[in-house]
Chain A
Amino acid sequence: MSERVELAHNAVGRAVPTMVNGRPQIPFLGVGKYQPRGRKAAPLIYSNKDYPDSGDKRVADLETALRKCGLRDGMVISNHHHLRDGDQVALMALEAAARLGVKDLMWFPSASFPSQKSAIELMEKKVIHHIEGSMNGPLGDYCTQGKMRGMGVLRSHGGRYQAIQDGEVHIDVAVIAAPSADFFGNADGSHGKSACGSLGFALADSTYADRVIVVTDNLVPFPCVPWQIQGNNVDCVVEVESIGDPAKIVSGTTQITRSPDRLRIAELVAQFLRAAGIMKNGFSFQAGAGGIALAFVQYLKQMMKEDGVKARFVRGGSTKFLVELLREGLTDYILDGQTFDLDGVKSMANDARHVATSPFTSYNYHGKGNFASLVDAVVLGATEVDVNFNANVVTHSDGRLLHGIGGWQNCLFSGCSILALPSFRDRIPVIVDEVTTMTGPGEMIDVVVTERGIAINPRRTDLLDAVKGSKLPVRPIHDIQAEVEKICGGKPARPKLGDRPCAVVKWVDGTVLDTVWQVS
């Protein structure tokens, strides 16, 4: 990373590198402006003659499996993050690679978590060259301090699928943690002591990687059903004592916020959906597992009951609050990308209306459509939003990398994208003149709901008209910004960022939307 990085200005005026980790990049051209060409990537052709007729692909341990799969210096090794902060498999695989003496790997997780902070030591020891995937907490700090040898690449869940499918990232070896699996490699996420619900994030890895290793702590006799991961794509199966810490894989109980200010935001969001006529029979919505989003679901549920309204489907991240909607007949389906609590896991295991999805079905932009644009409304968070409705979810206002993109960018394609945010945190205004890191272009963000009022993107005249005459506190975004700046004692100073790129933010089509700069 000592060489000079060429920069270009993209369609939203952000300076972005033209080359990232040795690959040429296309600067963001605008939403829907980039036309991909060519054919999708594909794995090698394999033959049954090289796999046992008995179907038994078990090997003794991960080291053996990695050796068998031909892991070498400079390869790409991937993991999924369905076990969240409880995952033990990713580090197990990376440490096994270290013991094999392999160097300069590109680690390609669908997301990383604070419990994986020892990946830093593996970077120091040169086992890992760099990470492409969300980095938060200690890994994010390591990256924004400029210590990583390669550049970080942040992609949405859909963007990760797109990058694999389009051949931007070729996975050499995928290591897939499986709460249940059989010896053939069929794997399922919603049964077993380490159950996590869906395994959708591993779908691309299992279909496009050259070699696939399934690691399980719950080996069941063939067939392991439902087989979200198909053994026909799997090279080796490794049985281990434990793939993760169940207490950290799913939370026993997901908590609704108790902060009166956040509850107010949640209620305003629900009232907005009702007033705008979005909450009507057959509608759909998505809300995450954050405190405000969970509270929003509870308020909306009450209003749906009062008005006799039923949803056709809701999108998970599922929690017990969505499961209750399903059980009480307030939605026909849960289409679930990841499962956050025990109630969600049990529901997916036992209820056919609770359907596991993958980034292919719900988020991939280089396909023949996806579910995200079918959702009527989505409730999201952000670290900052600017007066042009551009938003940041990856960095803090001081430039430090704090969060991954997750499905956030993909969700912006819904009929009404709503950011639900406190108007300031610790004296730091959330509505700024210009976001530190552009993660979503303002044209995709329709409504910002704060405790001090609701700002509707002026582009959405239909929404402005729909809530005209309601009692909702609809205000121009500049008004809310000015009020908060008055409270906070003026505009915040803008922290000085470095001039060396340490990570890039990709848009859903693989073009480069913005740069994360080294923090001095």
Chain B
Amino acid sequence: MSGAVETSSPRIAEAGHWGKDVRSDVHVIFEARESGGIEISLESRVAPYYGSAILRQAREVLDEIGVKHARVAIHDEGALPFVIAARIEAAARRVGLALGKRSLPEQHPLPAPSPKDRLRRSRLYLPGSEPKYYINAALHGPDAVILDLEDSVHRAEKDAARILVRNTLRAVDFGACERMVRINQLPLGLEDLAEVVGESPDLILIPKVERPEQVTEVDRMIGEIKARNGIIRPIWIMPILESALGIENATTIVTASENVAALTIGLEDYTADLGVVKTTEGRESQYARSRVVNAAHAAGVQAIDSAFGDVADMEALRRWGEASRAAGFEGMGCVHPGQIRVIHEAFAPSAAEVEKAQKVVAAFEEAQSKGLAVVSLGSKMIDPPVVQRALKLVERAKAMGVIS
């Protein structure tokens, strides 16, 4: 249970979740007061182990966000410290306090900056209001995690979710994963950027892009926040095309900024826009997906496929992934960790492909060393595009661990 705040600030607000089925979250009832100092009550399933740590942390957070007088009731379900801080801050903001102030958890060292063309076979969706999924997400080995502020977050929870995602980017170890954030549609998405860009996400997904101006607006705001915070590492952009208009404008959207690293498609909304049924074969979206692939490759960026929603049907997922790779996509979304391995297998080149590519590369290298312009393999002459494709395939296969 929770509730966001309407216009003029009330004296009491809540944030977070509690209940029998809630894990790793915390619920905070925040009552602003004029005097009397800080009064905190705590109920927690981990009270014997972390009760005093939680009380101490709550006081520190209140101090950092400049709250002097308040009554705070905390109902904890085993939340980790970065979640507790986010929920207290969200509740305080809902009563109109803590404006312009933040309580940031300890910074986990940032991973290496993300190369523009890095491997992006799988991106695991993590709902922006469900902290229990974050801490172990990287253990399942996706190429990226995507902290979602859009469809998986209720309208009334957007404010709290972006604080939680901000703290998550800062405190959670996502290992080798690229750290992505899906913001909301503009203009709400701009408020998301204001909260999260300072924590150096590696990539921002913009939903429902229909015009190139949407990309440039996001790009400009990211640039401003980066400059203000002295961030020099790249923050890439992946527009999501989810409508007929977006698909038609694919080319201008994907070229709207140098920072666009990939282009993707959202099939739920796209098929809804067309008024057709979304099938597991995907014939209804063949044109749109082909256009995304083509526009992306024309701009020299990656084409990434939609997520596959049926988490129980691994064989259908495998077929989808294999067809997707054959069509020119380099990865897709996943909504459950169990999908990651299947997706990685589907996007991996076959042994025969790798072997053939290695032969072509060897022939190319031999020709280079002999100063020959023409590459030949046995009795066959190899065209330059074939060489280029083989070089890329071998490089990718190495990155995927298919060959060493």
Q: Contacts of B336 on A, CB cut-off 8 Å?
A: 260
Q: Are B50 and A427 neighbours in the complex by a CB distance under 8 Å?
A: yes
- In chain A, positions 460-507 with a C-beta closer than 8 Å to chain B are 487-490, 492-493, 495
Residue of A nearest to B79 (CB): A427
Q: Is A241 an interface residue (CB 8 A)?
A: no
Q: Is A426 an interface residue (CB 8 A)?
A: yes
Q: Are A487 and B23 neighbours in the complex by a CB distance under 8 Å?
A: no
Categorize the interface residue count of chain B: 20 to 34
Q: Are B52 and A426 neighbours in the complex by a CB distance under 8 Å?
A: no
- In chain A, positions 414-440 with a C-beta closer than 8 Å to chain B are 425-428
Q: Are B23 and A426 neighbours in the complex by a CB distance under 8 Å?
A: yes
Residue of B nearest to A452 (CB): B139
Q: Are B78 and A428 neighbours in the complex by a CB distance under 8 Å?
A: yes
Q: Is A168 an interface residue (CB 8 A)?
A: no
CB-CB under 8 A for A260 and B338, given A427-B46, A487-B80, A488-B50: yes
Q: Is A166 an interface residue (CB 8 A)?
A: no
- In chain B, positions 350-378 with a C-beta closer than 8 Å to chain A are none
Q: Is A266 an interface residue (CB 8 A)?
A: no
Q: Are A427 and B48 neighbours in the complex by a CB distance under 8 Å?
A: no
Residue picked from A452, A489, A492, most chain B C-beta under 10 Å: A489
Whole-angstrom distance between the Cβ of A66 and the nearest chain B Cβ: 42
Cα of A500 to Cα of B110 in the assembled complex, Å: 50
Q: Contacts of B80 on A, CB cut-off 8 Å?
A: 427, 487-489
Categorize the interface residue count of chain A: 10 to 19
Q: Are A264 and B77 neighbours in the complex by a CB distance under 8 Å?
A: no
Q: Contacts of A493 on B, CB cut-off 8 Å?
A: 48-53
Q: Contacts of B46 on A, CB cut-off 8 Å?
A: 426-428, 492
Cα of A105 to Cα of B24 in the assembled complex, Å: 44
Residue of A nearest to B401 (CB): A471
Q: Are A426 and B78 neighbours in the complex by a CB distance under 8 Å?
A: yes
Q: Is A451 an interface residue (CB 8 A)?
A: yes
Q: Contacts of A495 on B, CB cut-off 8 Å?
A: 48-49
Q: Is A395 an interface residue (CB 8 A)?
A: no
Cα of A487 to Cα of B336 in the assembled complex, Å: 23
Q: Is B9 an interface residue (CB 8 A)?
A: no
Cα of A452 to Cα of B139 in the assembled complex, Å: 7
Q: Contacts of B135 on A, CB cut-off 8 Å?
A: 487
Q: Is A190 an interface residue (CB 8 A)?
A: no
Q: Is A124 an interface residue (CB 8 A)?
A: no
Q: Are B45 and A426 neighbours in the complex by a CB distance under 8 Å?
A: yes
- In chain B, positions 172-215 with a C-beta closer than 8 Å to chain A are none
CB-CB under 8 A for A261 and B48, given A426-B78, A427-B78, A489-B57: no
Cα of A288 to Cα of B81 in the assembled complex, Å: 35
Q: Write the A251-292 contact mask toward B (1 if CB under 8 angstroms, else 0).
A: 000000000110110000000000000000000000000000
Choose from B24, B139, B338 the contact partner of A427 (Cβ within 8 Å).
B24
CB-CB under 8 A for A264 and B140, given A426-B77, A427-B79, A427-B80: yes
CB-CB under 8 A for A264 and B45, given A426-B23, A427-B24: no
- In chain B, positions 123-163 with a C-beta closer than 8 Å to chain A are 135-136, 139-140
Whole-angstrom distance between the Cβ of A376 and the nearest chain B Cβ: 28
Q: Write the B90-134 contact mask toward A (1 if CB under 8 angstroms, else 0).
A: 000000000000000000000000000000000000000000000
Q: Contacts of A426 on B, CB cut-off 8 Å?
A: 23-24, 45-46, 77-78
Q: Is A398 an interface residue (CB 8 A)?
A: yes
Cα of A264 to Cα of B78 in the assembled complex, Å: 22
Residue of A nearest to B337 (CB): A260
Q: Are B23 and A398 neighbours in the complex by a CB distance under 8 Å?
A: no
Whole-angstrom distance between the Cβ of B353 and the nearest chain A Cβ: 23
Choose from A425, A428, A490 the contact partner of B53 (Cβ within 8 Å).
A490
Q: Is A397 an interface residue (CB 8 A)?
A: yes
Cα of A483 to Cα of B52 in the assembled complex, Å: 21
Cα of A490 to Cα of B46 in the assembled complex, Å: 13
Q: Contacts of B78 on A, CB cut-off 8 Å?
A: 425-428
Cα of A451 to Cα of B175 in the assembled complex, Å: 14
Choose from B24, B50, B139 the contact partner of A489 (Cβ within 8 Å).
B50
Choose from A264, A425, A428, A490 the contact partner of B139 (Cβ within 8 Å).
A264
Q: Contacts of A488 on B, CB cut-off 8 Å?
A: 50, 80
Cα of A254 to Cα of B16 in the assembled complex, Å: 34
Q: Write the B302-341 contact mask toward A (1 if CB under 8 angstroms, else 0).
A: 0000000000000000000000000000000000111000
Residue of B nearest to A425 (CB): B78
Whole-angstrom distance between the Cβ of B179 and the nearest chain A Cβ: 17
Cα of A398 to Cα of B337 in the assembled complex, Å: 33
Whole-angstrom distance between the Cβ of A400 and the nearest chain B Cβ: 10
Choose from B23, B24, B45, B140 the contact partner of A260 (Cβ within 8 Å).
B140
Whole-angstrom distance between the Cβ of A383 and the nearest chain B Cβ: 13
Q: Contacts of B51 on A, CB cut-off 8 Å?
A: 493
Cα of A230 to Cα of B125 in the assembled complex, Å: 60
Q: Contacts of B45 on A, CB cut-off 8 Å?
A: 426
Cα of A489 to Cα of B337 in the assembled complex, Å: 26
Q: Write the A309-345 contact mask toward B (1 if CB under 8 angstroms, else 0).
A: 0000000000000000000000000000000000000
Whole-angstrom distance between the Cβ of A256 and the nearest chain B Cβ: 12
Q: Are B140 and A492 neighbours in the complex by a CB distance under 8 Å?
A: no
Listed in ascending order, the chain A residues whose CB lies under 8 Å from chain B are 260-261, 263-264, 397-398, 425-428, 451-452, 487-490, 492-493, 495
Listed in ascending order, the chain B residues whose CB lies under 8 Å from chain A are 23-24, 45-46, 48-53, 57, 77-81, 135-136, 139-140, 336-338
13 contacts between A and B (CB under 8 A): A260-B136, A260-B336, A264-B139, A426-B46, A426-B77, A427-B24, A451-B136, A487-B80, A488-B50, A490-B53, A493-B50, A493-B53, A495-B48
Given contacts A397-B48, A425-B78, A427-B79, 19 further A-B contacts (CB under 8 A): A260-B140, A260-B337, A263-B338, A397-B49, A426-B23, A426-B24, A427-B46, A427-B49, A427-B50, A427-B80, A451-B136, A452-B139, A487-B80, A489-B53, A492-B49, A492-B50, A493-B49, A495-B48, A495-B49
Q: Which 7 A-B pairs have the closest CB atoms?
A: A426-B78, A492-B49, A260-B337, A495-B48, A489-B81, A427-B78, A398-B48
